Structure 1
Amino acid sequence: MRRLGAIADDFTGATDLATNLAKRGFRVVVIPGGALDAAEARVRALPDRPDAVVIALKSRTAPVATAVADSLRALDLLESLDCDRFYLKYCSTFDSTDEGNIGPVLDALSKRLDAGRVVVVPSFPANGRTVEGGILSVHGVPLAESPMKDHPLTPMRRSRVADLLAPQTSAPVGEVYSDVVDRGSEALAEALSQSSARYVVVDAATDAQLDTIAGATAGDVLVSGGSGLALGMTPPQADVEQGSGSLPAAVDAGADTDDTLDVAARPHAGSLVVSGSASSMTRTQVAHGRAHLPARKIDVQALIDDAPAELGRAVVWVLAHAFDEDADGAPRPPLVYAVDSLDDLSVSYRYPDGLAPADRPHPSELIEQHLGALVATVAERGVTHILVAGGETSGSTVTALGLSELVIGAEIAPGVCWAQGHTAHGTLVDIALKSGNFGSEDMFTSAWKVLHP
């Protein structure tokens, strides 16, 4: 029986992929990249061995050498867990620069696995990410014309995926268009086998086309893309269904484990939303949250002046609101956020006299550290239902909590789910990690209905 091993370049991407694999019937577990040392023993000790293991790295914007080294270390673990097929998960908007990190990591993994050709499939139609004629669009708008063109870390100024990838690798990059995909898996497999390119960008604008791509690449040792490709994959146990034509039931939030049945046992748990993302959708969600929830904007200057003191003030404020309920008894979580306008990204701050520019922490680093420390502190005081917006913020939060693995639970929206894990202190938390541009406008207020049906 084949076992899938996946490497995601950020934490929201990992749970995004795990959500889609679970929907297809995979038994899946997510392992944070900072918890790899003892992960093999923990995974082997699970009562039901997963047939998909997703490792959540924080490598999307890391130095290239670090991203490559972390990815290869993750591959080592996956191979030790008997994975024999692999999936490199990156953002559906192909977040990267001309230096990387998608290309260098693909180069390293494909060389290690002796993968002669790897498909590149960022599409996720359910979230408006499609590739047609090689052009990546976001809700019908070419990537370079979408809000992603102004991303503070990875501004996307081209729309053709091959043009985004080519500067990052010395390997040839090819394309296969939808007219070939629409002929079916066998025709697509034949076209891919005839390509001389190591990396092949494949059009996909519908779930049916993702199904075709998944079928055509079912025997590939390595595939790459956003999480959408997982929606066409078949779990190993389906191979023994004797032609029933149906997939196993998707992994449920409470499937066979005590951990994932414990929400009702903690009715007085506090709730919290934290957002470090500057993305367009998250800013819309912050605006909606401010209108309906207690809200506190992070004071970056206060963090520069005295981070511990500002953390203390934030903890007191969160604890004063985290156990609030609305008139129907539903959670009314406080919202702690960093950005509600792009103007926030150009603010100048005062640093202590004598501190060299090279030694000045970037505001985004201070925000991530602050939110991670805030969540970790209040989690040990009963605030154990937590929604996190932003990939970098999610990585910092999971690391600060010391979560060693995440069990995937109920889906909130395409690519976003609740998950559970234990902190370094043994506290059980329910956590949702939301990619910046995913989710509906009201997610900060509506996600709790899924956790408390």
Structure 2
Amino acid sequence: MSIVLGAIADDFTGATDLANNLVRAGMRTLQVIGVPQTALALDDVDAVVVALKSRTCPVQEAVNDSLAALDWLREQGARQLFFKYCSTFDSTDEGNIGPVADALLERLRATQAERLRATQQERLGSQHTVMVPAFPINGRTVYQGHLFVGDRLLNDSGMQHHPLNPMTDADLVRVLSRQTPHSVGLLARPILAEGADAARARLKSLGEQGVRHVICDTLDESDLEVIAAAVAEFPLVTGGSGLGQALPAEYRRLGWLDPVADPGRLAPASGAALVLSGSCSQATLGQVEDFLSRHEGFALDPLALAESDEQIEQALTFARERLFDEESSAPVLIYASAAPEKVKAAQHRLGAARAGELVERALAGLAKTLVTEGVGRLVVAGGETSGAVVSALEVTELRIGEQIDPGVPWTQTTVDGREAPLSLALKSGNFGGVDFFSRAFDALPGEKQP
């Protein structure tokens, strides 16, 4: 049985974000970590999201990994491909969004002769694609090509201080034009207001003019629906997870997708509850503060981690004394999240890459040890941190469950050393309400302790 949608996500939390929206829109969804090396049972799966760690790696590495994912998804018979990146479009002038999108389009065009039954829309779509980063329900909107976070332009939203990809320009046409040698155009809001037929006509016209990438204005959910209707038969679309919630309805209209009852069903949860946070986003900092007002936490310091592993041992002792106390089932937090000035000080002393690696290694090692010892409900905050934790746990597949907050579902997987499934929530740094860390465990049904 062929899958309907095959997605390539440039980080782990972004993959889960997209998978969450697909489940909410009625698609049974599996997230895989990297390109699978063995055959998967996909009989009860409508969509597969391949999670890569390609947002901040060297451009050629991102291109190679993305092409490998594309080839594997096409082998599974995916009707449509989706390149997923963050709703804040964070990247550098070198990439990786533009170069990866270019490479995916080139690969599809090179193999176009294989698509003997391709429609004219598909042939046109293989020459160009849309860029739809907006996620209105989470406050990410695009107007006249400019990306807003809430009521602030991207470059005035806090993203200008991103430690790896500072975003100092909100004009996405301009941002993307620095990443690709190909023409970048705009599908503006007035065209979307006229409906899907007008959007299709505008996209066709732009393609005939040689425009390869089309930034799409998006102010609300109705705009996403119009865009989805216009591009559902494109071989490749790109964007944030907002577009993912609009596409399944179009797949049903096309007869590709049957209605499914309870696509996000998971097994009952069990085990101790732990939060690991490496994100330094403004949203996560608020979540850390809120959690610490209710529960206990342990702070990691990159400078101390650079000296020795003593702080890791202290964190383990802290966690063990609280997580495995039979009289308490309260979650605990271990975090390296810190205010921008403290992050900059550590990066100045250690270098940005070294500081990040120390935190990721520490949190990943803590996750591996504590899950083996009895943690069964785990929340991880931050895309890079989530990638490190998933790698340390040797997770290869995640079944996607119900949403906690927009963009963040519970998932389940199997890990060595644990008989019951591990319930895992991977949260992008900027996502979730202020009480997310505490509320996440209340939203997960099942046993509280083994």
Q: Call closer, same or farther: CA 1:186–1:361 in 2, change over 3 Å.
A: closer
SS of the counterpart of 2:232?
coil
1:438 corresponding residue in structure 2: 431
Partner of 2:182: 171
Show the counterpart of 1:261. 267
TM-score (norm 2): 0.89
Structure 2 residue corresponding to 1:397, chosen from 389, 395, 398: 389
Give the 3-state SS of the residue equivalent to 1:296 in structure 2.
strand
Q: Percent identity?
A: 41
1:21-420 superposed matches below 5 A: 21-33=22-34, 36-38=36-38, 41=39, 43=40, 45-46=41-42, 48-114=43-109, 115-195=126-206, 196=209, 197-234=211-248, 238-239=252-253, 248-249=260-261, 251-252=263-264, 254=265, 260-263=266-269, 266=270, 269-307=271-309, 309-323=310-324, 331-348=329-346, 362-420=354-412
Amino acid at match of 2:283: M
The CA distance in 2 between the partners of 1:12 and 1:76, in whole Å, is 22
Deviation readout 1:321-362 (Å, 9 max, x if unpaired): 224699xx8x421111112311221225899xxxxx89x961
Structure 2 unpaired stretches of 5+: 110-125
1:280 positional shift: 0.7
- Length-normalised TM-score, structure 1: 0.89
Tell me what 1:354 maps to: none
Q: CA deviation at 1:452?
A: 2.9
Per-residue CA shift, 1:391-417, capped at 9, x if unaligned? 000000001011110000110010001
Q: Quickly say closer, same or farther: Cα 1:204–1:69, change in 2 above 3 A.
A: same
Contact kept? 1:271, 1:323, Cα under 8 Å: no
Pair 2,349 (structure 1): closer, same or farther in 2 beyond 3 Å? closer
Q: 1:417 to 1:2 in 2, by over 3 A?
A: closer
Shift of 1:9: 0.4
* Aligned position for 2:122: none
**Closer/same/farther in 2, CA of residues 294 and 135 from structure 1, 3 Å limit:** same
| Structure 1: segments with no counterpart, 5+ residues | 255-259, 352-356
Paired AA for residue 142 in structure 1? L
CA distance in 2, matches of 1:3, 1:242: 7
State the SS of the aligned residue for 1:198. Answer: strand
- Tell me the equivalent position of 2:123: none
- Distance in 2, Cα, partners of 1:209 & 1:184: 9
How many corresponding residue pairs? 425
Q: How far 1:90 moved relative to its partner?
A: 0.2
Alpha-carbon distance in 1 for matches of 2:166, 2:347: 23
Tell me which residue corresponds to 1:257: none
Q: Secondary structure at the match of 2:286?
A: helix
Alpha carbons of structure 1 residues 347 and 218: separation in structure 2 relative to 1, 3 Å: same
Structure 2 CA distance for aligned equivalents of residues 368 and 208 of structure 1? 39
Q: 1:301: how far off?
A: 2.6
Shift of residue 126, structure 1, vs aligned partner = 0.6
Deviations 1:1-41 (A, max 9, x none): 762110000000000000001111111100011x6212xx1
Please, what is the CA RMSD of the aligned residues? 2.4
1:187–1:54 CA distance, 2 compared to 1 (3 A): same
* Distance in structure 2 (CA, Å) of the matches to 1:223 and 1:237: 14
